[in-house]
Structure 1
Amino acid sequence: MYSGETTMVILLLIGLVAKSNLIAICASVLLILQSSKLDFLFPYLETHGLELGLLFLLLSILVPIATDKVTTCDLLYNVSSLPGLLAIVGGILATHLNSEGLKLMQIDPSIIFGLIVGSVIGIIFFNGQPVGPLMAAGVAALFLEVLSWFN
């Protein structure tokens, strides 16, 4: 068994133990692609998988607007209120951190294992909600940047 397959099996087991269906499903899909000789799809998934994931995330977020559960008046009020303005600042900071996290994962792809382990620990012990490794990588990039100030 190759190192990548072993790691996927470990991630599958971690996902099952941590009751993280996303990790377990992703590891299973990648194992199936590897064993069925469909691994030629890996470069496509690597370059476009993030975009596909964001597409579905945005679709789920925008459904309340499309179904009129959130009205235009609600939206206008929220961007002009203090919580709305803080949400805008939070969005700016989050997207910046995500950008830095993406750079970190491109420079050091092996960091993903630590991000997943940290996410699983957060889920199990801190009642965390997994939203993806990108934000975790952004926070890790921030920590690394702060550490670089002291070196």
Structure 2
Amino acid sequence: MNSSTLLLLLIMLLGIIGRSNIIAAASAVLLLLQFTNLQRFFPLLERRALEVGLICLVVSVLIPFSSGRVSAAEILKSFISSNGIIALLSGVIATHMNYQGLELLQRYPQMMVGMVLGSIIGVAFFGGIPVGPLMAGGIAALLVQLVAYLK
């Protein structure tokens, strides 16, 4: 058994222990691809799986709009309230940080292991939800820049 298989098994086990079905399932899918000699799909998954996942995430967030549970008047009202403006600014900041996180992970892919372990710890011990590898990357990018600035 090679080191990548052991690492995926460890991540899957940590996902199970930490009750993070998403992390456990992702590890299981990659293990399945390894065991069935379908690693040739890894480059495709590496390029496109994030986009597919983000599409699914955005679809789930937009369902209240498409189902009519949120009216146009409510949307308009949200832009003139302090909470709505805060939400708008938060979206701008979060998407910028996500972009920075993606760039950081492309430059230093080895950081993903720490982020995955951090996500597992966050889920297992702090009641977190593991939907934010890019946000974790964004926070890491911010902290890396801060440390570099302070040196």
Q: TM-score, normalised by structure 2?
A: 0.96
What stretches of structure 1 move > 2 A for 4+ residues in a row? none
Query: Identity over aligned residues, as a percent?
Result: 40
The residue aligned with 1:31 is: 31
Deviation of 1:54 after TM superposition, in Å, equals 0.5
Please list every run of 5 or more consecutive structure 2 residues that lacks an aligned counterpart in the other structure: none
Distance in 2 separating the partners of 1:125 and 1:16: 13
SS of equivalent residue, structure 1 residue 70 = coil
Structure 1 gaps of 5+ residues are none
- Listed one character per residue, the Cα deviations across residues 3-44 of structure 1 (whole Å, up to 9, x for unaligned) are 211111010000000000000000000000111111111111
Report the count of equivalent residues: 151
- SS, match of residue 129 in structure 1: coil
Q: CA deviation at 1:150?
A: 1.2
* Equivalent runs, 1:10-49 vs 2, <5 Å: 10-49=10-49
SS at match of 1:98: helix
Cα RMSD (Å): 0.9
Higher relative contact order (CA 8 A, sep 6+): 2
Contact 2:12 2:27 in 1 (8 A): yes
Q: What SS is found at the alignment partner of 1:148?
A: helix
Matches of 1:9 and 1:15 in 2, distance apart? 10
- The answer to whether the 8 Å contact 2:17/2:124 transfers is no
> Which residues of 2 match residues 117-136 of structure 1 at below 5 A?
117-136=117-136
Provide TM-score, normalisation by structure 1: 0.96
Equivalence for 1:112: 112
> How far apart, in 2, do the equivalents of 1:117 and 1:81 lie?
38
